[in-house]
Amino acid sequence: MEKILLSHGSGGTMMHKLIDSLFMRELGNPTLIEKKDSAIVEIGGKKIAFTTDSYVVNPIFFPGGDIGSLAVYGTVNDLAVCGAKPLFISLGLIIEEGFDRDLLEKIVKSISSAAKRARVDVVTGDTKVVERGSCDKIFINTSGIGAIYYPGLSIENIKPRDSVILSGTIGEHAISVLSKREGISFSTIVRSDSAPLNALIAKVLSVSKGVRFMRDPTRGGAATTLNEMVTGGRFGISIEEEDLPVTEGVRASCELLGFDPLYLANEGRVIIVAKRDDEKRILRAMRSDPLGRSSRVIGTVTKEYPGKVYMNTSSGGRRIVGMLSSEQLPRIC
């Protein structure tokens, strides 16, 4: 009998296979099949973005964030990358019997300040408590609704010569969670990049009509997100290794642990594909925001290698960058 494995929740190829072979087969409809970060639905003639996500991160507190703020920002970001203004979120809590009330209060306070920062309201919720051992401390589900103000963002719109822009350094979230979980101390403490992207994205969308598609590179990292953009398409994406922004702290941790920052989860970064003519004004808008200071162009959409992501390496070579194929780090978000 086939069993569900950790890698089925990794965000990589195993998860995509499970989605296609089971969820799409049984539940597929024209909205679900689009596999966007948020579903785009129409209610009373208005376009609405609707999304949901569960948070099981271990540990629940880590440098730069905690499960509460992560649950707000993750859902806010999935709305924002679809061209929506995040408005309302739900909060579903599954708590293990015996969990400290003080810790719960700390998490709820964090949710409250995260919601204020992201300018969303928690408008409905649910609390369940399960027997000791039936879940690990606390799991959170958030759903979110936003109003679409920049319609039409789609992978279908991406064209050769488009620019691929990344809003900041990669890998901090994963390294922050991992180092706390494993009790590894690096010379520099790596803090999670967990943050709400809606303000940064609104700035970009106000200066350019040429944004084709956006996605936040969470589980599976930037490599997986870029692959999701090209899979089955008539174009490829080339990235320049030299242009990949990685902090010294993340680089050192990756060397020590054998990780590739391209596959590490981020929780406050966005990859934007846009018309090349708009590249400069988009970068200017992004860099004017504290969350986009180190934004840069990391690659180009090309006619070469359709369906593939490839990297021009610092040493002058070229290699294909695949999707995350197995589990790299479970319970990272």
Residue nearest to Mg ion (CB): 37
- Strands of the sheet containing 84-96, edge to edge, are 39-43, 46-55, 138-148, 84-96, 121-130
Residue 191, amino acid: R
**Binding marks (x or -) toward Mg ion, 159..198, rule CB under 5 A?**
----------------------------------------
Cβ 295 vs Cβ 286: under 8 Å: yes
Cβ nearer to Mg ion, comparing 13 with 253? 13
Provide φ and ψ at 192, rounded to 5°.
-60, 145
Q: Which tokens sit at 148?
A: 């679409």
Q: Which stretch binds Mg ion (CB under 5 A): 70-78, 144-152, 174-182, 247-255?
A: 70-78
Of 159, 169, 311, nearest in space to 234 by CA: 159
Residue (78 or 279) nearer to Mg ion, CB: 78
Report, in Å, the least distance between residue 309 CB and Mg ion.
18
Whole-Å CA distances, 89 to 118, 142, 215 = 11, 6, 20
Least distance in Å: CB of 216 to Mg ion?
4
Omega into 59 within 30° of 0, i.e. cis?
yes
Residue of 258, 35, 66 whose CA lies nearest to 156: 35
Alpha carbon distance 139, 265 (integer Å): 19
Q: Which stretch binds Mg ion (CB under 5 A): 34-42, 91-99, 104-112, 228-236?
A: 34-42
Site for Mg ion in 259-298 (CB under 5 A): none
Least distance from C-beta 316 to Mg ion, angstroms?
A: 34
Q: Is 216 in the site for Mg ion (CB under 5 A)?
A: yes
**How many Å apart are CA 224 and CA 55, to the nearest integer?**
20
How far, in Å, CA of 283 to CA of 153, rounded?
A: 19
Q: How far is the CB of 240 from Mg ion (least distance, A)?
A: 24
Name which of 37 and 172 has its Cβ closer to Mg ion: 37
Q: Is 253 strand, coil or helix?
A: helix
Beta-carbon count within 10 A of 246 CB:
17
Q: Does 327 bind Mg ion (CB under 5 A)?
A: no
Question: Of the candidates 69, 73, 49, which has an alpha carbon nearest to the alpha carbon of residue 61?
Answer: 69
Q: Which of residues 5-24 bind Mg ion (CB under 5 A)?
A: none
Stretch that binds Mg ion, among 72-80, 82-90, 224-232, 280-288 (CB under 5 A): 72-80
Q: Of these, 7, 11, 37, 238, which contacts Mg ion (CB under 5 A)?
A: 37
Site membership for Mg ion, residue 53 (CB under 5 A): no
Piece of the chain touching Mg ion by CB under 5 A; list 37-45, 202-210, 226-234, 313-321 = 37-45
By CB under 5 A, the residues from 78 to 97 that bind Mg ion are 78
Size of the site for Mg ion (CB under 5 A): 3
Q: Compare residues 220 and 299 and give the one whose CB is closer to Mg ion.
A: 220
Tokens 């890698």 sit at which residue? 7
Please give the residue ranges that form the binding site for Mg ion (CB under 5 A): 37, 78, 216
